[in-house]
Amino acid sequence: MNASLARNAAQATCIAILAVPAISSADEPQFTDWSDPVNLGPVVNSSSLDTGPRLSPDGLSLYFSSNRPGIGGFDIWIARRDCKSCPWQAPVPLGPNINTTGNDSSPSFSPDGHLLFFSSDRSPGGFGSGDIWVSFRWNSHDDFGWVPPVNLGPSVNTGDEEFGAAFLPARSIFGRHTFYFTRSAEEQDIFETRLTRGGVVSGPVTEINALGALDGEPNFRGDGKELVFFSQRDGSVNGSVDIWSATRAHANAPWSPPVNLGSPVNTQFAEIGVGMSFDGTELYIVKGQQLGGSGQRDIWVSTRERIEEDDD
């Protein structure tokens, strides 16, 4: 076995034995309204295009994709902070296991922080213009511990572009986990499939017709009861791309009809990317240069607080 195959086999073994924690069954939390979004500023944003923000499960690492000077066209970058109320530090690119001379973008975590899903047009090993790949790390806090990634295979990846992954664990260690992603063909829609607890595709791929067309980049609050995504569906401000949300009573319940998050999250201009923190209190939004900032698209953040119920 050559070195490349050996690395892939070792990673497959690591992923296969990974156990993902169950989603909490706590009562539905209540939150305040989202605040006015704030630009993350020139420490994080650049004069280039910065997009696809995703916060790590511990809330201390912000992954995003950018076409600023790096290894390839788009690379995945990481900004860190020492605490959730601390300022962001200057971002650095992930290592060559993740970034290539091609386009690497749209990062997303498993809730335990051991798996990283992302889109890449790297070769060899791909099926189309952009495929979803998955990497593993032993230490869920080591941002540079990712091993060489594995392609999710032809049931997820096609000749079209796949991106915007979201991994939702089952409620028990015996269940199968759900994997959501965006596929861009004649239209752009959200699809789902089943995964084993180690992140291996184990079911058919189906389109989520209940959410509608022209949707993208789904991601969840950590308890699996709230979904955010971008969409240009009817009801968007001035017909632009907006951030929408849907909720459900529990992880196996159907989703509510999506609701436009409205002002101040959405504007008359396009909000073309979104990432929610696992605790549901931070919303990272991609906005264009019409609203000011550092570059072609910048990352902004809106926040809300969880409302604690009285014990009595």
Question: Could you give the strand order of the β-sheet that contains 61-66, starting from the edge strand earlier in sequence?
Answer: 50-55, 61-66, 75-80, 92-93
| Higher pLDDT among residues 14 and 55, named by residue | 55
Residue 30 domain-assigned? no
What pLDDT digit, counting tens, does each position of 232-252 carry?
888 888 778 999 999 988 777
Question: Could you give the strand order of the β-sheet that contains 206-207, starting from the edge strand earlier in sequence?
Answer: 161-168, 177-184, 188-195, 206-207
Residue 32 domain-assigned? no
Q: Print the domain residue range for 61.
A: 3-18+38-307
Identify the pLDDT of residue 223: 86
What pLDDT digit, counting tens, does each position of 193-224 carry?
988 767 788 888 988 755 555 678 888 898 88
Query: Is the pLDDT assigned to residue 131 strictly greater than 90?
Result: yes
Residue 104 domain-assigned? yes
Q: How far apart are CA 208 and CA 203, in angstroms?
A: 15
Q: What angle do CA 166, 197, 279 make, to 5 degrees?
A: 45
Mean pLDDT calculated for residue range 123-136: 88
Identify the pLDDT of residue 219: 87
Backbone angles phi, psi at 5, to 5 degrees: -65, -35
CA 209 to chain CA centroid, Å, is 20
Three-class secondary structure of residue 12 per DSSP:
helix
Residue 27 domain-assigned? no
CA 271 to chain CA centroid, Å, is 15
Q: Minimal CA–CA distance to 156: which of 121, 125, 120, 182? A: 182
Number of domains in the chain: 1
Q: How far apart are CA 35 and CA 295, in angstroms?
A: 23
Identify the pLDDT of residue 24: 42
What pLDDT digit, counting tens, does each position of 139-174 carry?
999 999 999 999 999 989 999 899 989 888 776 555
The amino acid at residue 111 is P
Residue 312 domain-assigned? no
Residue 114: which CATH number? 2.120.10.30
Q: Whole-number mean pLDDT of the chain?
A: 84
Q: Which of 7-11, 27-31, 263-267, 283-287 has the lowest mean pLDDT?
A: 7-11
Mean pLDDT calculated for residue range 36-61: 95
Query: Is the pLDDT assigned to residue 299 strictly greater than 80?
Result: yes
Q: Which of 46-55, 79-88, 220-229, 249-258 has the lowest mean pLDDT?
A: 249-258
Identify the pLDDT of residue 7: 43
Predicted model pTM: 0.86
Residue 26 domain-assigned? no
Residue 222 domain-assigned? yes
Mean pLDDT calculated for residue range 9-33: 52
